[in-house]
Amino acid sequence: MINYEGAVFRPPSEARSLIIQATIGCSHNKCTFCSMYKEKTFRARDFSDVEKDLISARSMYSSIRRIFLADGDALILSTERLVQILESVRRIFPECERVGIYGTSRSINLKSEQELIHLRELGLGIVYLGLESGNDEILRSINKGESSEDIVRAGKKARKAGLLVSVTAISGLGGQRLRTEHAKDTAKALSLMNPDFIGFLSLMVEPGTQLWEEVSSGSFTLLTPQEIIEEMVIFLKNIDSPGTVFRSNHASNYFSLYGNLNEDIPSMLGELDEAMKDQDLLRHEFMRRL
């Protein structure tokens, strides 16, 4: 049996991966919109417990092609510990083609390029990195603890080391006041980073978070679905990231988009134009989820 502690999260594209908790919780755990790890105190799991889970999984599955190391952000573990885990994965699952992991800019920037290359050589294939917004005022207001420049540097460094980089941004995170800045600066940061994948979620406010209180008190005003679409139009008119796969097909979004940058920008703008004319094309509020 695999021992999972608390709720376990993974990126949508890791839906078919074996999830193994290398850490518990998030080493930052302070973003105002995030409730994922609020009930957990961050710690690294003992290597012996991680290995026990890998051995249990081996007895349960005949073939595992992808493994995702949870929680957020497991990349903060020391390189030595990650090497230990990746070597164990290789030994127990020789057929595994890719290991994925959540990373913050801090966890990437603390490692040398050589260390990242070593991890890649041992099977680490993809890092999921949250930019959330490219605007520093927004990043400060959500307590991200990192600047746009930090996150761009981390993304570029991971790519240079040969890792796939998948970056998440959140529509509506600037609220009414900073919505144009959010769209433009996020496009600017992602253009500089030129990641392999960009995924957009749309902001959902969860009870128990600081953002919930800000919305309740009126200090943060959410965007309407129409305004979220307009924000995405500004983003797409400003992004320049050739070769990036773009997705906003997460269940939190009012409208799903999928395409390759930059060539599919005109067709995606056309789809958004249709969505603005016909509200029936938008996902109903009650069907949205994280």
Per the CB < 8 A criterion, the answer to whether 243 and 194 are in contact is yes
Q: How far is the CB of 213 from ligand SF4 (least distance, A)?
A: 16
| Dist. CA 145–CA 139, nearest whole Å | 7
Q: Comparing C-alpha atoms, which of 258, 19, 31 is closest to residue 130?
A: 31
Residue whose CB is less far from ligand SF4, 130 or 259: 130
Q: How far is the CB of 70 from ligand SF4 (least distance, A)?
A: 11
Q: How far is the CB of 126 from ligand SF4 (least distance, A)?
A: 16
Per the CB < 8 A criterion, the answer to whether 183 and 231 are in contact is yes
Residue whose CB is less far from ligand SF4, 104 or 194: 104
In this structure, what token pair is assigned to residue 191?
């253009």
Residue whose CB is less far from ligand SF4, 169 or 272: 169
Per the CB < 8 A criterion, the answer to whether 171 and 202 are in contact is yes
| Dist. CA 27–CA 43, nearest whole Å | 8
Q: How far is the CB of 31 from ligand SF4 (least distance, A)?
A: 3
Residue whose CB is less far from ligand SF4, 93 or 220: 220
Q: Comparing C-alpha atoms, which of 182, 87, 93 is closest to residue 137?
A: 182
Q: How far is CA 156 from CA 145, 253, 256, 290, in A?
A: 19, 27, 27, 28
Residue whose CB is less far from ligand SF4, 70 or 190: 70
Q: How far is the CB of 72 from ligand SF4 (least distance, A)?
A: 4
Residue whose CB is less far from ligand SF4, 17 or 35: 35
The residue written with tokens 């997705």 in the block is: 247
Spacing of C-alpha 143 from chain mean position? 16
Q: How far is the CB of 43 from ligand SF4 (least distance, A)?
A: 14
Contacts to ligand SF4 by CB under 6 A: 26, 28-31, 34, 36-37, 72, 104, 130
Per the CB < 8 A criterion, the answer to whether 32 and 138 are in contact is no
Per the CB < 8 A criterion, the answer to whether 240 and 191 are in contact is yes
Per the CB < 8 A criterion, the answer to whether 127 and 75 are in contact is yes
Q: How far is the CB of 216 from ligand SF4 (least distance, A)?
A: 20
Residue whose CB is less far from ligand SF4, 20 or 34: 34
